[in-house]
Amino acid sequence: MADLTTTVAGVRWRNPLWLASGIWGESGESLRGAYEAGAGAVITKSIGSGPRPGYPNPTVEPLGPVGMLNALGLPNPGIEEYPREIEKAVSAGVPVIGSIFGGSANEFTALARAMSRTGVRAIELNLSCPHAEGFGTEVGSDPHLVERIVRRVRAATTLPVIAKLTPNTSDPGALARAAERGGANAVSAINTVRGLAIEPELRRPVLAHGIGGLSGPAIKPVGLACVWQIYEAIDLPIVGIGGISTATDVVEYLLAGASAVEIGTAVAQDGIEVFGTVAKALSDWMDRHGVGELAELIGAAHPGRRAKRGSPRRTRSVASHRRRRVSVVRGRSPPAML
């Protein structure tokens, strides 16, 4: 039987399949239910300073095999109320990761402090909120802000800090380096991809908020590319997210460089049983392929890593990696353009 445990941010987790933030994340019973269904860890809904009802409906638009769009608007009961829900899960022994969001480094810091007192094992920073000081873009698309927020939070808590990065950027590696500089213990990627649906008959966006976030199968390639680029850019463990619903999806993320993954939208399609099913299928896959532990897979699709298979984490510089990848994968000199 393959060993599914994984170490991320200094913590050992029973398996690498985590419940993504925003899914089954409002009630303590649900968090517990997801863990009982087989998740390796459960991440709370992103919690802010006060209660927020979120946007009016429609907040979700199913897009069939492509996935779905949502703009829930970060509904949450607020950091004062929510610890009651966490308590229900934590008291049952569930490893909970607390997700927080804010509009400034100060807000994140205060939230992290409060969250640290709830019994969670780690804190995930949801950096995908509009930048209060900027113009429409997300807090998390500005490397300076990312670094600042992570550094402040890092100083405010003794818990491991996971920075959750956005795919809506030209350079995921730069954001990851910012998080690493700020002192993050791990990064997770990706949050949803900016998207829109319009109802032609009604001549208006479907979601009440207009622009929303795309998740599900459509974004699996996007998440994989981000994880790949982040793995080439930093040395922290990576939690891969986006469009995961099967064991081979998980293996792809592991090979791209993830040490664990989060599953969100697949819960809509396959129910919470997806955790148990995928855990079993992953273990079977590993047995069938003679893989004893996850470390053999993590990052193994990177040419540098392929060359020294078995080592838990490469230490060579990014640049030497890049060179090596090109020559190993392509076997000829690299063309200059995409």
Partner 1 sequence: MRSVVPVDERVAETPSTATLRFDYPPTAEPGQFVMVWLPGDDELPMSLSYVEGPQKGITVKAMGESSARLVRLRPPDRLGVRGPYGRGFDLSPRRILVVGGGSGAAVLAPAAEAAARAGALVDVALGATTREELLFYERFRAMGARLFPATDDGSFGYRGYVSDVARERLGSESYQAVWTCGPELMMRKVLEEAERRSVASFGSVERVMKCALGMCDACALGPFHVCRDGPVLPGRRLLDLEEFGRAFRNASGRLTPFEVRRAPSGRTGRDRGPGR
By beta-carbon proximity to partner 1, the closer residue of 4 and 272 is 272
Q: Which of 11, 60, 66, 281 binds its own copies (CB under 8 A)?
A: 66
Q: Which of 221, 271, 292, 312 binds its own copies (CB under 8 A)?
A: 221
Q: Residue 12, Cα to own-chain centre: how many angstroms?
A: 17
Strand locations in the chain, DSSP E? Answer: 6-8, 11-13, 17-19, 41-43, 60-62, 68-70, 96-100, 122-126, 161-165, 186-189, 193-195, 198-199, 204-205, 212-215, 238-241, 258-263
> Binding of its own copies at residue 332 (CB under 8 A)?
yes
Contacted by 51, from partner 1, its own copies, ligand FMN, none: CB < 5 to 8 Å by type? partner 1
How many Å apart are CA 194 and CA 41, to the nearest integer? 26
Catalytic residue among 129, 145, 233, 254: 129
> Binding of partner 1 at residue 63 (CB under 8 A)?
yes
Options 27-35, 152-160, 187-195, 314-322: segment touching partner 1 (CB under 8 A): 27-35
User: Amino acid identity, residue 151?
Assistant: R
* In contact, 57 and 208? CB cutoff 8 Å: yes
Task: Provide the 3-class DSSP secondary structure of residue 9.
Answer: coil
User: Amino acid identity, residue 153?
Assistant: V
Options 82-90, 171-179, 236-244, 328-336: segment touching ligand FMN (CB under 6 A): 236-244
129 is catalytic: yes
Is the Cα dihedral 296, 300, 304, 307 positive or negative?
positive
Q: Which of 32, 45, 177, 314 binds ligand FMN (CB under 6 A)?
A: 45
By beta-carbon proximity to ligand FMN, the closer residue of 164 and 314 is 164
Q: Which of 8, 13, 21, 24 binds partner 1 (CB under 8 A)?
A: 24
By beta-carbon proximity to partner 1, the closer residue of 22 and 257 is 22
Options 57-65, 100-108, 114-122, 223-231: segment touching partner 1 (CB under 8 A): 57-65
Contacted by 318, from its own copies, ligand FMN, partner 1, none: CB < 5 to 8 Å by type? none
* DSSP-assigned letters across all residues of 201-231: TTTEESSTTSSEEEESGGGHHHHHHHHHHHH
> Binding of partner 1 at residue 172 (CB under 8 A)?
no
CA 249 vs CA 66, 240, 296, 320: distances in Å: 15, 10, 16, 28
Q: Could you give the residue numbers annotated as active site?
A: 129
